[in-house]
């Protein structure tokens, strides 16, 4: 886009220079016309050949004026086209800048949302890790308690078995 603007600005500058040159030529031609008019007045008693020459010069001057006017019209048209192209390019760039700003804002919002979600997820993960550690600690304590209870149960079963064996012996001994 910058290159296009630079190109359009160069075209406008060339057009300005051409216009200035045309204006200078017009002024030169006008001055020459005025000088010729003064000469014509001074040579009022000129011969018919001189009159014909003056008519030719006037015709040339008229042609030069028309050419200059056409060149000015063409330059104005070219300048107007260049201005329109320049304005269109500036407008298009403005629209692109607006679109990029919208995309940037959207990306920033999405990024912020992702950061918030990451932060929330991290907090949840940390809470889960704490709960897991607590649960593992409780599980370890419960396993230890279960082992103790199992040991006491085994001890109680052995005691019951021993007592049952002793009772059976007593029954056998008392029956004998």
**Per-residue model confidence as pLDDT tens digits over 120-175:** 999 999 999 999 999 999 999 999 999 999 999 999 999 999 999 989 888 888 88
User: By C-alpha distance, which of 25, 36, 19, 35 is closest to 65?
Assistant: 25
Structure tokens at 43: 């040579």
> How many domains are contained in the chain?
1
| Residue 67: predicted pLDDT | 86
Is 64 among the domain residues?
Answer: yes
Range(s) of the domain holding residue 30: 2-131
- Give the chain's end-to-end CA distance (angstroms, integer): 121
Is 141 among the domain residues?
Answer: no
Is 33 among the domain residues?
Answer: yes
| Cα–Cα distance for residue pair 16/79, rounded to 1 Å | 8
DSSP structural state of residue 31: H
Is 91 among the domain residues?
Answer: yes
Q: For residues 30 and 58, which has the higher predicted lDDT (pLDDT)?
A: 58
Helix (H) or strand (E) holding 160: helix 48-175
pLDDT band at 45 (very low <50, low <70, confident <90, very high): low
Is 15 among the domain residues?
Answer: yes
| Cα–Cα distance for residue pair 175/143, rounded to 1 Å | 47
The contacts of residue 50 (CB under 8 Å, 6+ apart) are 43
| Residue 31: predicted pLDDT | 87
- Check if the beta carbon of residue 111 is closer than 8 Å to that of residue 61: no
DSSP structural state of residue 176: -
90-104 b/e (C-beta count within 10 Å ≥ 16 → b): eeeeeeeeeeeeeee
Is 98 among the domain residues?
Answer: yes
Residue 99 has pLDDT above 60, yes or no: yes
Is 79 among the domain residues?
Answer: yes
Q: Rounded to 10 degrees, what is the CA torsion of 30, 33, 38, 41?
A: -140
Is 151 among the domain residues?
Answer: no
């Amino acid at each position: 886009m910058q290159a296009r603007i630079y190109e359009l600005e160069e075209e406008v500058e060339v057009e300005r220079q051409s216009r200035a040159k045309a204006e200078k030529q017009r002024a030169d031609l006008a001055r020459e016309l005025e000088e010729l008019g003064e000469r014509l007045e001074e040579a009022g008693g000129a011969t018919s050949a001189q009159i014909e020459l003056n008519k030719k010069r006037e015709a040339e001057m008229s042609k030069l004026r028309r050419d200059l006017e056409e060149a000015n019209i063409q330059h104005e048209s070219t300048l107007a086209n260049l201005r329109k192209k320049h304005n269109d390019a500036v407008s298009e760039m403005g629209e692109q800048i607006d679109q990029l700003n919208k995309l940037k804002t959207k990306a920033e919002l999405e990024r912020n949302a992702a950061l918030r979600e990451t932060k929330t997820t991290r907090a949840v993960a940390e809470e889960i890790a704490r709960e897991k550690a607590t649960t593992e600690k409780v599980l370890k304590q419960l396993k230890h308690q279960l082992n103790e209870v199992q040991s006491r149960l085994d001890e109680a079963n052995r005691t019951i078995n021993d007592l049952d064996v002793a009772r059976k012996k007593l029954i056998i001994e008392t029956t004998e």
